[in-house]
Amino acid sequence: MEELETDITELQAEVEKTYRQLKLDDAATELEKLRAEMAASDFWQDTNHAKAVSIHESQLSRRLSPWQDLRNNLQSDLEVAKLHDNTLAAELDEHLSSDRAQFEVLKEELKLSGLYDSYDAILSIHAGAGGTDAQDWAQMLLRMYVRWAEQHDMHVDTVDESAGDEAGLKSVTLELTGGDFTYGKLKGEHGVHRLVRLSPFNADNLRQTSFAKVEVMPKIDAPDAIDIDEKDLKIDVFRSGGHGGQSVNTTDSAVRITHMPTGIVVSIQNERSQLQNRETAMTILRSRLAALQLEQHAEKISELKGPNEQAAWGNQIRSYVLHPYKQVKDLRTRYETSNVDAVLDGDLDSFINAYLEHNLST
């Protein structure tokens, strides 16, 4: 019985440590304030505010309830264990096993408990500093993410693509659908990726450093999910162009939407109708604003500042080195591997899990 008491105490300490790391006491205090606000007689006078508060209350409640239940269960079991009644040992041991399993489940769930983590994803890759090498690097990253998506039985649709001048891509935008927690898993890929290798595009085969920026956004289909004021939009239509500037469409079907307050520009010129391109552009704009809102911790779209991260030195989240040695290293989590070929073939799960673990503890 004393051993059971010790085991319960140790698990309780681990749960309390995680509870503090996640700042769930602050969440509990916030939940009490929200519930007090919701109990006020004039709560529903401002419908939009009331709706936002109700959604937030529900999210906090779902997050907190299982943790509070686990803490209560452990405290009850500890009190029983202190009675030193050996006839209850088997039952307590069963409770302890159940509590351990629940703790592991909660830790896993918390890795993917963000607001949009369960959504499909929109992923864009933009060649940065490095000329033709950077455009080739963008093409390599495209292959890497498509391979990863295929390994997880996801559907990949190319929304928009701009070919490089000599090789590779200037930019490409993909929709990844049909997976589980696609945005939640990929959100850590958002940022600047740096490649170091012997360049295949110069006569001297010199070492070259190239950069590409990866944007990952939750796919926001519903127009009412993100409140965008139409007066903040500048919408231009133009004729689509193909590789090398050749006309592929004789009508003004391409669409460029600029969100004036943030300066975000979305341009879609695939070979489809103007209406389809506009709907796609609006989906991507909503998605970018949602991702930016999360990144800047803003409550309203009107509070957002435009993104300013450049795909160049000093901004990289991960380095891929092919020469003079082989290594892929994430600069945030410090996770690294020498198996570069596997990573470029889509083996990203170790990096994704390391980021989720890191994100959970910070």
User: What burial letters (b/e) apply to 272-303, b meaning 16+ CB within 10 Å?
Assistant: eebeebbbbbbbbbbbbbbbbbeeeeeeebee
Beta-bridge mates of residue 318? 193, 330
325 contact partners, CB below 8 Å, separation of at least 6: 338
CA-CA-CA-CA torsion sign (275, 279, 284, 286): positive
pLDDT band at 251 (very low <50, low <70, confident <90, very high): low
**What separation in angstroms does the CA of 115 have from each of 190, 290, 295?**
16, 10, 12
pLDDT of residue 24: 86
292 and 222 inside one domain: yes
pLDDT of residue 247: 44
Q: How far apart are CA 285 and CA 288, in angstroms?
A: 5
130 and 194 inside one domain: yes
pLDDT band at 271 (very low <50, low <70, confident <90, very high): low
Structural domain range at position 292? 117-362
Dihedral of the CA atoms 116, 121, 122, 128 (nearest 10)?
A: 90
Beta-bridge mates of residue 338? none
- Neighbour tally for 26: CB within 10 Å: 10
226 and 97 inside one domain: no
pLDDT of residue 149: 97
pLDDT of residue 194: 96
For residues 242 and 131, the model is more confident at 131
Amino acid type, 339: N
Domain end residue (candidates: 111, 144, 177): 111
Residues 7-17 have a mean pLDDT of: 93
206 and 308 inside one domain: yes
Answer whether residue 145 shows pLDDT above 90.
yes
- Which CATH number goes with the domain that contains 9? 1.20.58.410
Answer whether residue 248 shows pLDDT above 60.
no
Nearest to 201 by CA among 128, 127, 142, 135: 135
Residue 112 token pair? 């993917």
pLDDT band at 180 (very low <50, low <70, confident <90, very high): confident
161 and 304 inside one domain: yes
Answer whether residue 63 shows pLDDT above 90.
no
Answer whether residue 139 shows pLDDT above 50.
yes
pLDDT of residue 244: 40
Q: How far apart are CA 194 and CA 211, in angstroms?
A: 5
36 and 15 inside one domain: yes
> How does DSSP assign 213-226, residue by residue?
EEEEEE----GGGS
For residues 51 and 32, the model is more confident at 32
Answer whether residue 112 shows pLDDT above 90.
no
pLDDT of residue 193: 96
Dihedral of the CA atoms 268, 301, 357, 10 (nearest 10)?
A: -160
Q: How far apart are CA 149 and CA 176, in angstroms?
A: 7
Answer whether residue 282 shows pLDDT above 90.
yes
pLDDT tens-digit series, residues 208-241:
999 999 999 999 887 877 889 999 999 999 887 6
Please provide the average confidence, as pLDDT, over all residues in the chain: 89
- Which CATH number goes with the domain that contains 295? 3.30.70.1660
98 and 188 inside one domain: no
Domain end residue (candidates: 96, 111, 126): 111
226 and 315 inside one domain: yes
Q: How far apart are CA 346 and CA 145, in angstroms?
A: 6
pLDDT tens-digit series, residues 284-329:
999 999 998 888 887 788 788 877 666 555 679 999 999 999 999 9
pLDDT band at 264 (very low <50, low <70, confident <90, very high): very high
149 and 65 inside one domain: no
| Lowest mean per-residue pLDDT among 156-165, 195-204, 210-219 | 195-204
Count of structural domains, the chain = 2
Most confident of 6-10, 39-43, 242-246, 343-347: 343-347
Amino acid type, 177: T
Share of the chain above pLDDT 70, in %: 94
Residues 101-117 have a mean pLDDT of: 84
102 and 178 inside one domain: no
pLDDT band at 243 (very low <50, low <70, confident <90, very high): very low
pLDDT band at 245 (very low <50, low <70, confident <90, very high): very low
Q: How many CA atoms lie within 13 A of 219 on its CB side?
A: 24
Domain end residue (candidates: 78, 111, 144): 111
70 and 121 inside one domain: no
Backbone angles phi, psi at 224, to 5 degrees: -85, 0
pLDDT band at 246 (very low <50, low <70, confident <90, very high): very low
174 and 147 inside one domain: yes
